[in-house]
């Protein structure tokens, strides 16, 4: 027999109205009462009907995750992180893929918000970087949190002005610092001619990672040769083509290391290098970025930068809930800047002599 809100009220010794206030996370509920009711909810395994809650009042109990990213691993991690927080808060998650290049995308998002009666949105790159989307959300008066490549301090190569970014609406990933650290790792191994295979130009992560790479070269008094930078996309195929272009004419540039903009690019570069009978890492070191399954499925396994996407997206959801009605999340517990950590594996080694 299905447990009802009346059963919870009787078990907790309170009124149904009090149970409703607790389930709806109204901030006026005393902590003692909140704990008693939530204990009853747990003991009876009561599951609130989210659809009924949405219809019953003016408050929404659903948030949205909007994305435009072809990397399935990235999207799954993002979904899992946001969903884990939704379960804690008693909210539903609406997942909405869209194309950033679609001229009707802005209206599509607005329609989705109104149709699903969302309380707020988590925006992933590159949508989170588009000013017209942010203006639309501000005009609609809906809460949102942006995942951005950069630093809260604006000390990276941030191109938007401080006036256009509401920092309390952002979760930052410091791609610049991680790319700098990976490049230094290669330099410390003796590599002096290091190439960079870029991802999509419209992603800010591309410019941040490229900037970190360039600065590490300059700080170590190495020249930053533009001919060693391949402009591509975040895909395996782009990594293959990039390596072929960079290592053309029997590697006339003398490249001893390639830093891929992500693990898919690096895996493609590794594949192409093997087709050219280049030994990894004895003749060429290759590193990636993000620590996706691609980095562990290659041989040898890729040196990379671990990016905890599920944790990052969970904190984005926590930040969003701190802005919506009834959240019990404390701001001091939310991490707003993440720096990917370098993971050294077998694909990088000492520069050949």
Domain count, the chain: 3
| Alpha helices in 189-305, H assignment, sequence order | 204-219, 236-246, 248-251, 263-275, 293-297
Q: Residue 1: pLDDT above 90?
A: no
- At 182, phi and psi to the nearest 5? -65, -45
Task: Note whether 321 and 177 are within 8 A (CB).
Answer: no
Q: What was the pLDDT predicted at 157?
A: 43
Q: What was the pLDDT predicted at 107?
A: 86
234 & 275 share domain: yes
The whole domain housing 232 covers 176-307
Q: Quick: pLDDT tens for 70-128.
A: 788 889 999 999 999 998 888 889 998 988 788 888 888 988 888 888 989 999 999 99
How many Å apart are CA 255 and CA 8, to the nearest integer? 68
Q: Quick: pLDDT tens for 113-151.
A: 888 889 899 999 999 999 989 998 988 889 999 999 998
Global pTM? 0.80
For range 32-56, the mean pLDDT: 74
For range 240-267, the mean pLDDT: 95
Q: Residue 48: pLDDT above 50?
A: yes
Task: Note whether 350 and 205 are within 8 A (CB).
Answer: no
- 160 within some domain: yes
Question: Which among 307, 323, 347 is the end of a domain?
Answer: 307
How many Å apart are CA 197 and CA 96, to the nearest integer? 30
How many Å apart are CA 88 and CA 41, to the nearest integer? 13
Q: Are strands 341-343 and 304-306 parallel, antiparallel or unpaired?
A: antiparallel
Q: What CATH number corresponds to the domain at position 235?
A: 3.40.50.2300
**Most confidently predicted of 34-43, 179-188, 247-256:** 179-188
Output the six-digit token pair for 239: 């990594």
14 & 34 share domain: yes
DSSP symbol at 347? T
Specify which residues 258 forms β-bridges with.
195, 286
167 & 185 share domain: no
Question: In this predicted model, which residue has the larger pLDDT, 261 or 99?
Answer: 261
Question: In this predicted model, which residue has the larger pLDDT, 102 or 54?
Answer: 102
Closest residue by Cα to residue 172 from 156, 158, 152: 152
298 & 182 share domain: yes
- 352 within some domain: no
Task: Note whether 163 and 131 are within 8 A (CB).
Answer: no
What is the dihedral angle through the alpha carbons of 256, 260, 265, 269, rounded to the nearest 10 degrees?
0
- 348 within some domain: no
- 88 within some domain: yes
Q: What was the pLDDT predicted at 329?
A: 46
Q: Using DSSP, how many helices (H) and how many strands (E) does the chain show?
A: 14, 12
Q: What was the pLDDT predicted at 26?
A: 67
207 & 291 share domain: yes
Q: Residue 156: pLDDT above 50?
A: no
Q: What CATH number corresponds to the domain at position 11?
A: 1.10.260.40
Question: In this predicted model, which residue has the larger pLDDT, 282 or 49?
Answer: 282
Q: Residue 295: pLDDT above 80?
A: yes
- 73 within some domain: yes
153 & 255 share domain: no
For range 18-32, the mean pLDDT: 75
- 347 within some domain: no
């Amino acid at each position: 027999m299905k447990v009802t809100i009346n059963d919870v009220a009787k078990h907790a010794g309170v009124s149904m109205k009090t149970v409703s206030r607790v389930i709806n996370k109204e901030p006026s509920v005393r902590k003692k009462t909140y704990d008693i009711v939530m204990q009853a909810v747990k003991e009876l395994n009561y599951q609130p009907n989210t659809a009924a809650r949405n219809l019953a009042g003016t408050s929404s109990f659903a948030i949205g995750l909007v994305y435009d990213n072809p990397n399935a691993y990235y999207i799954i991690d993002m979904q899992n992180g946001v969903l884990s927080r939704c379960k804690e808060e008693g909210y539903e998650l609406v997942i909405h893929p869209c194309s950033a290049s679609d001229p009707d995308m802005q209206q599509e998002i607005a329609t989705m918000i109104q149709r699903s009666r969302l309380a707020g949105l988590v925006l992933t790159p590159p949508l989170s970087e588009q000013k017209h989307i942010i203006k639309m959300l501000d005009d609609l008066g809906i809460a949102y949190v942006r995942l951005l490549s950069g630093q809260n301090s604006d000390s990276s190569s941030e191109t938007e002005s401080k006036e256009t970014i509401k920092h309390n609406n952002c979760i930052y990933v410091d791609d610049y610092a991680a790319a700098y650290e990976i490049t230094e790792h290669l330099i410390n191994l003796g590599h002096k001619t290091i190439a960079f295979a870029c991802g999509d130009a419209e992603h800010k992560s591309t410019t941040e990672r490229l900037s970190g790479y360039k600065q590490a070269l300059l700080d170590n008094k190495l020249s930053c040769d533009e001919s060693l930078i391949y402009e591509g996309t975040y895909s395996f195929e782009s990594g293959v083509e990039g390596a072929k272009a960079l290592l053309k004419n029997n590697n006339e540039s003398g490249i001893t290391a390639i830093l891929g903009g992500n693990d898919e690019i690096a895996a493609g570069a590794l594949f192409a290098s093997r087709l050219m009978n280049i030994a990894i890492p004895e003749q060429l070191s290759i590193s990636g970025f993000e620590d996706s399954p691609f980095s562990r499925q290659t041989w040898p396994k890729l040196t990379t930068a671990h990016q905890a996407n599920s944790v990052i997206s969970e904190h984005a959801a926590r930040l969003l809930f701190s802005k919506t009605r009834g959240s019990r999340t404390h701001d001091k517990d939310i991490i707003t800047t993440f720096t990917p950590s370098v993971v050294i594996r077998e694909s990088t080694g000492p520069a050949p002599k």
